[in-house]
Amino acid sequence: MPTVELITGEQLQARREALGLTQEAFAELAGVSTKTVSNYESKDLVSGRTRRLCEHAITFEEEARKPTSGTEDFPWLRLETKRWSKDTCGPASLLRPEFEIVPFHGTQRLSDLESLSTWCKGDSKFSARAYIADGGFGKSRLARELCHWARKRGWIAGFAEPEEFRSGQMLESALAALKTPMLIVVDYAGDREKVPMLERILKASGDCKAPRIRVLMLDRDSLWLSRLEALLGTDDRLAAGGVTRQPWKLDLKPAAPDEAERKETYKIAATVFSDRLGSTPLVAPSDLADGEVYQNLLMIHARALVSPKRKTGPSRDASILDALLDRERNYWRKRLDAIGGSRLLLSKLEEAEALINLRRGAKTADAARSWLISYKPFRGLPQDSVEAILSVLRECYPLGTDGIGPLQPDLLREHFRDVSFAKYPSLQRWITKL
């Protein structure tokens, strides 16, 4: 999320008009009334919460409209910041890095960002790094902040997406002609489709005329690095950059290493969530002293979003994820009600999302439909019921043009997988047949 600066009503009006937005259009973006925007601009009389909502909305819109020059030859390099809406986004989306809801903060993460920006500015023409950490440590968000930093300085920067990765000579020729610094982030770098993509990017970077090329790879373990090295072989140009002898591998440290940092992180997240949801921030729990449960940044943010059923004992982390899952179930019920669907479909809707979740999402509605039809417990389910389920899930978890995504963030997706296996035994049998 871009840094939000305190502005006066007069400044807000000037920036809104510069974007060509009416008060009505801006009010919709900010999630406030048109009268509130008018009161802010003419009298400067608004609450602190409203001021933050408006200031975030105007900053977000300005950032979203900034041109990104030089990216037309690299459509596979993306940096999409999604707009969050209380009405159309599931509760757990508040935790996802692409929405950038919680401001980037923390002594350790700011230090990590400074280290990475120094690496980018280094003298070497080409360099690669691999950051390793468990899910929820904040790897993706850190990389997004680095991309924002780079783009503000004229770099071409973004996350490499295999689905849009160009084949043939186009990558090599585009990189060979590049004269702008470039930062390439590869998230989940060890995934099957990512390693070959990395191989081509790293080999093509050897002939690039750009002043600097940086490749940042993110994953939970480093086992895939040996596969990447085997693919790269013994190319002398890359050996000079340290790639074939393993990139500079760093283990990401916990973002909030002590109780004081965890409490501050909790306070920041709870305040932002209450602003977005129009609720009262949850009071910081006493169990933030538990460094084992809360060494993961995501779990601190999740704790600020929900009030788990169990507050003591060895299952606190599972309790927090259970509470998140309950909020998603309530969201499914509301979206089902909105289309006039029967509440009797709610359990089937959950089972359908569990099935899609196991496959890490369906790229198209047709793919999801075929999975449901082939799934024994859904045989005989009326077609209109299947379509209602697909309609709700497409709305809740859009993926691409008409696909359906899994639950996110990853820790929730994995928790939902484990819960689903216990709750729906047929899923285990279905997935083993694929």
Separation between Cα atoms, residue 229 and residue 217, nearest integer Å:
14
For residue 104, what are the CA distances in angstroms to 19, 21, 94, 129? Answer: 26, 28, 14, 21
Contacts of 387 (CB under 8 A, 6+ apart): none
pLDDT (0 to 100) of residue 96:
93
Kindly give, in sequence order, each residue whose CB lies less than 8 Å from that of residue 325, ignoring residues fewer than 6 positions away: 412, 415, 416, 419
Residue 282: DSSP 8-state: P
Q: What is the pLDDT of residue 36?
A: 92
Sequence spans of domains, the chain: 9-65, 107-251, 313-432
pLDDT of residue 6: 66
Would you identify the CATH topology of the domain 9-65?
434 Repressor (Amino-terminal Domain) (1.10.260)
Predicted confidence at residue 309, as pLDDT, reads 58
Task: Please report, in tens digits, the pLDDT of each residue of the chain (434 residues total).
Answer: 444 456 889 999 999 988 888 998 888 888 788 999 999 999 888 888 788 888 888 887 877 676 555 566 788 888 888 888 877 788 899 999 998 889 888 889 999 999 999 999 988 888 889 999 998 999 999 999 999 999 989 999 999 987 767 555 567 778 878 889 999 999 999 998 888 888 888 888 877 778 899 999 999 998 888 888 777 765 555 555 545 545 678 888 888 889 999 999 999 999 889 888 888 888 888 888 877 788 889 999 999 999 775 454 444 678 899 999 999 999 999 999 888 878 889 999 999 999 999 999 999 999 999 999 889 999 889 999 999 999 999 989 998 888 999 999 999 999 999 999 999 999 988 887 65
Angle, in degrees to the nearest 10, between helices 346-358 and 365-374 = 110
Whole-angstrom distance, CA of residue 202 vs CA of residue 115 = 22
pTM: 0.83
Place of tokens 């990017």: 201
User: What 3-state DSSP class applies to 380?
Assistant: coil
Radius of gyration of the chain measured on its C-alpha atoms: 23
Token pair for residue 119? 């690496």
Q: Do domains 9-65 and 107-251 have the same CATH topology?
A: no
134 contact partners, CB below 8 Å, separation of at least 6: 220, 296
Closest CA to 325 of 255, 201, 418: 418
Handedness of CA 348, 349, 354, 356 (dihedral sign): positive
Which pLDDT belongs to residue 4? Answer: 47
Give, rounded to a whole angstrom, the gap between the first and last alpha carbons of the chain: 40
Tell me how long the chain is.
434
Sign for the CA dihedral angle at 228, 75, 132, 219 comes to negative
Tokens representing residue 81 in the block: 């910041």
Instruction: Print burial letters for 210-237: b (CB count within 10 Å at least 16), e (below 16).
Output: bebbbbbbbbbebebbeebbeebeeeee
**Residue with the two structure tokens 């996350």:** 159
Q: Which CATH number fits domain 107-251: 3.40.50.300, 3.40.720.10, 3.30.70.580, 3.40.1280.10?
A: 3.40.50.300
- Predicted local distance difference test score (pLDDT) of residue 235: 56
Spatial separation of the C-alpha atoms in residues 432 and 425, rounded to whole Å: 12
Of 433, 429, 357, nearest to 393 by C-alpha is: 357
pLDDT at 215: 92
Angle (nearest 5°) at CA 280 between 274 and 286: 100
Q: How far apart are CA 330 and CA 317, in angstroms?
A: 20
Closest CA to 215 of 298, 139, 131, 141: 131
b/e code 332-369 from CB counts within 10 Å (16+ = b): bbebbeeeebeeebbebbbbbbbbbbbeebbbebeebb
CA distance 424 to 434: 17
